[in-house]
Amino acid sequence: MAQIEESNKSGRTVNVDVNLVPFIDLMSVLIVFLLISAVWSQVSMIQIGSSVYGKKTPQEVTPPPRVEIPFRLDVRADGYRIVIGQQILQIPKINATYDQDRLNAEVKKIKTIYPDKVDAVITIADELKYQFLIEGMDALLSSGFPEISVATGGVQ
């Protein structure tokens, strides 16, 4: 705050101290506002697949690589179900136990068909034991699918 002080020799001197607290408060509010508005301006710039400047020609459209085919293992009360792309393979229980040998063979067969694929999704019905989920994950890991996602919400 500015003050006028009395001096003996030359009369008056002015002591000017700038209070920086309101300035710092203003700058902190402005920085937060700019950071938040910058995030929203980036979100509005995300492309959603349509071209603004022209249409895609038919030569530009390519099918997805074979690695992008979805692969899901469902652990159900009646056995396993493997979904790879549009194909569905049922592995029923044998004598009220899950058929681990056939599951391992089928998952290894899928790995030989799609050697570049490393991800898989596993789902389990809510009423089943956690042990069956772990057995399914072990089959996927031993067959060469290290990136395993567990889908919540049960089997579809």
CB 148 within 8 A of CB 138: no
Instruction: Take residue 91 and report the two structure tokens written for it.
Output: 């592995």
Helix (H, G, I), strand (E, B) or coil at 71: strand
Over its length of 156 residues, how does the chain's per-residue pLDDT go in tens digits?
556 666 666 667 777 778 889 999 999 999 998 888 776 554 444 444 444 555 555 555 554 555 678 888 998 888 999 998 888 999 999 888 999 999 999 999 988 888 888 888 888 888 888 888 888 889 998 888 888 888 876 666
Q: How, if at all, do strands 119-124 and 3-6 pair? A: unpaired
pTM value is 0.55
pLDDT at 24: 93
| CA pair distance 140, 71, nearest whole angstrom | 11
What DSSP string runs through 79-141? EEEEEETTEEEEEE-BTTB--HHHHHHHHHHHHHHSTT--EEEEEE-TTS-HHHHHHHHHHHH
| Domains along the chain with CATH numbers | 66-150 (3.30.420.270)
